[in-house]
Amino acid sequence: MDYSAIFSYMYTEIALAGVIVAVLLYDLIAGERGRRYFQTFVCLLMLFFVAGTVYPYHGGTADVFGGMYQYTPVAGIVKSILAIGTLIVFLQSDAWLSREDTRFKRGEFYVLTLSTLLGMDFMVSAGHFMMFFIGMELASVPMACLVAFDKYKGNSAEAGAKFILSALFASGLMLYGISFFYGTAGTLYFEDMAAKIDGSPLQILSLVFFFTGLGFKLSLVPFHLWTADTYQGAPTSVTSYLSVVSKAAAAFILTVIFVKVFPSVSDYWQLMLYIVIVLSITVANVFAIRQKNLKRFMAFSSISQAGYIMLGVICGTPYGMTSLIFYLLVYMAANLAAFGVISTVEQHSGGKTGIEDYNGLYRTNPKLAVIMTLALFSLAGIPPFAGFFSKFFIFAAAFEQGFHVLVFIALINTVISLYYYLLIVKAMFITPNENPVPAFRSDRGTRLSLLLCLAGIIALGIVSSVFDGIGLYSFGM
Q: Which residues form the interface with another protein (CB under 8 A)?
A: 319, 322, 377, 382-384, 388-389, 392-393, 395-396, 399-400, 404, 407-408, 411-412, 414-415, 418-419, 422, 425-426, 429-430, 464, 467-468, 471, 477
CB-wise, 7 or 408, nearer to another protein?
A: 408
- Nearest distance from residue 428's CB to another protein, in Å? 10
CB-wise, 49 or 388, nearer to another protein?
A: 388
CB-wise, 75 or 425, nearer to another protein?
A: 425
- Nearest distance from residue 243's CB to another protein, in Å? 24
Q: At 198, which amino acid appears?
A: D
CB-wise, 210 or 420, nearer to another protein?
A: 420
CB-wise, 255 or 322, nearer to another protein?
A: 322
- Nearest distance from residue 388's CB to another protein, in Å? 7
CB-wise, 109 or 467, nearer to another protein?
A: 467
What's the CA gap between 96 and 55, in Å, rounded? Answer: 32
Task: Name the E strands within 8-90.
Answer: 62-64, 69-71
DSSP string computed for 200-228: -HHHHHHHHHHHHHHHHHHT-TTS-TTHH
CA angle 446, 357, 334 (to 5 degrees): 40
CB-wise, 168 or 278, nearer to another protein?
A: 278
CB atoms closer than 10 angstroms to residue 1? 8
- Nearest distance from residue 286's CB to another protein, in Å? 15
- Nearest distance from residue 290's CB to another protein, in Å? 16
CA nearest to 257, candidates 376, 352, 129, 130: 129
CB-wise, 261 or 379, nearer to another protein?
A: 379
CA nearest to 102, candidates 37, 149, 141, 148: 149
Alpha helices in 67-153 (DSSP H): 73-92, 94-97, 106-124, 129-147
Q: At 94, which amino acid appears?
A: D
CB-wise, 25 or 462, nearer to another protein?
A: 462
- Nearest distance from residue 385's CB to another protein, in Å? 10
Query: Which residues are within 8 A (CB) of 405 and not within 5 positions of it... i.e. 6 or more apart?
Result: none
Q: Specify burial of residue 404 (Cβ count, 10 A radius: 0-12, 13-18, 19+).
A: exposed
- Nearest distance from residue 213's CB to another protein, in Å? 33
Residue 87 CB-half CA count within 13 A: 24
**Secondary structure of residue 436 in the 3-state scheme:** coil
What's the CA gap between 437 and 361, in Å, rounded? Answer: 6
Q: Specify burial of residue 128 (Cβ count, 10 A radius: 0-12, 13-18, 19+).
A: buried
- Nearest distance from residue 198's CB to another protein, in Å? 33
- Nearest distance from residue 141's CB to another protein, in Å? 39
